[in-house]
Structure 1
Amino acid sequence: MDKSKHLSAHPSDLVSRFHRSRSLSTPAHSGRDRSSPSMRPTSAIPPAYYTVFAIYEPVLTTLGFLGAVLDPKGTHDYQAPWPNGPPPEDLPLATRLTIIQLGHVCALLGLLNVWLLTAARVHLSFQPALQEKIVGALLTPLLIGDVAHLWISLWALGDQRWNIQNWSPMLFITFTLGFTLFVPRVMWQLGIGRYVDSRDRPSPKS
């Protein structure tokens, strides 16, 4: 008797029972909940940022150091225009030493990027919140340095700062390369394409 009643049930009843059983076994938004955590960034120093700050920037700073060592006079003379005549024939020893030391400092900053960011990426990959703090402790002062470098360079140029047609090629390169590092650092600070703990921290339910 029960079997005949089940077979003679109205089709709409069967459909409603099917939907009720499906809703009980599978939450309405389970598919979305399962996929959304996997779409969140999981690293504070993903490959794109690592390439810029741990490869590209150290290469630039190392090349700058080598240029200062191999040709300190050229490095000095091409830093700014010479509106009142050609540069001096001989470079004072103190100036030569200062240029080489500044080049060494730049190369050292590049090496710090390599070692610190590599250590954070390798050893803190499962602690993205701590990784974000360590990486931020490096990139934040470097961002301040980018702004200060551009501002000080313009200030030091004096009356020549807006006489752009007389700028040396090295001066153009200095500003251009500075922006290629400044923009990614700003993007990192804005949390673009990387793990941000306040935004991407897994919820207790996930």
Structure 2
Amino acid sequence: MSSHRAKSGPLQNPQSAIPDFYYVLFAFYEPALTILGFIGALYDPETTHNTQAPWPAGSPPPTPLPRASVVTVVQLAHVCALMGLSNFFMLTAARRHLASQVVMQEKIVRALLIPLLVGDVVHLYVTLWALGDERWDVAHWSPMLWTTVILGLTLMIPRVMWHFGVWRYMDSRDSVHVQALSQTDVKEKGTDI
């Protein structure tokens, strides 16, 4: 009986649809990245703009950067920072206020993470598309482009993992097991008396 309980322990009381690993990643790591990116764009919009992709040989970046480009870079960085802050507040609220309603918590978190996953995939696609014929010439990618792709993957891959239920309670997969274990525990308690 004790070995059965030891194996089933984590499923008996699902704590959160957004366990610590995912919470730290999406509510702290991602907002930190987006806020730092926004600060960098505010501090030096020209470098932010000019290092996004390799420049053609013999065609240096514009100096000074046109005002429209400065506004676009800063606005884009602001939107990214806003998304990061939204993650923090929504995930924190879901963990705090829906702690006793794991199924509802999962649905709310899913509603946040689906568009973000779509955004990750589209962001990677449009980045590569915009590079044109140079998209696979990785030897000439700028450090900023490498950073964009690699950091994007550090968020996209865990979002895919979350959707597949890796390292978390997933109601559609685990609720049957939790119910079966609860019924087994009730029967065992009845026979122990």
Structure 1 and Structure 2 fold alike (TM over 0.5): yes
Identity across the alignment (%): 56
Q: Is the 8 A contact 1:42 1:194 kept in 2?
A: no
Which stretch of the first structure deviates more once superposed, 33-42 or 146-155? 33-42
- Opposite residue 38 of structure 1, the aligned amino acid is G
Residue 143 of structure 1 deviates from its aligned partner by 0.6
Residue 129 (structure 1) aligned with residue 111 (structure 2): no
- Opposite residue 29 of structure 2, the aligned amino acid is Y
Residue 43 of structure 1 deviates from its aligned partner by 1.2
SS at 2:18's partner residue?
coil
What is the RMSD computed on CA atoms of the aligned residues?
1.4
1:187 maps to which of 161, 164, 172: 161
The number of equivalent residue pairs is 177
In our comparison, the structure showing a higher alpha carbon Rg is 1
2-side partners of 1:106 and 1:146: how far apart? 12
| TM-score, L = length of structure 2 | 0.87
2-side partners of 1:114 and 1:186: how far apart? 19
**Which residue of the partner structure matches residue 83 of structure 1?**
56
- Give ranges in structure 2 of 5+ residues lacking alignment: 186-193
2:71 maps to which of 92, 97, 101: 97
**Which residue of the partner structure matches residue 52 of structure 1?**
25
Which ranges of 4 or more aligned residues in structure 1 deviate by more than 6 Å? none
Alignment of 1:1-206 (within 5 A): 30-40=1-11, 41-84=14-57, 85-201=59-175, 202-203=178-179, 205=183
| TM-score, L = length of structure 1 | 0.82
User: Deviations along 1:3-62, whole A, 9 cap, x unmatched?
Assistant: xxxxxxxxxxxxxxxxxxxxxxxxxxx435544542224310000000100000000000
2-side partners of 1:64 and 1:198: how far apart? 37
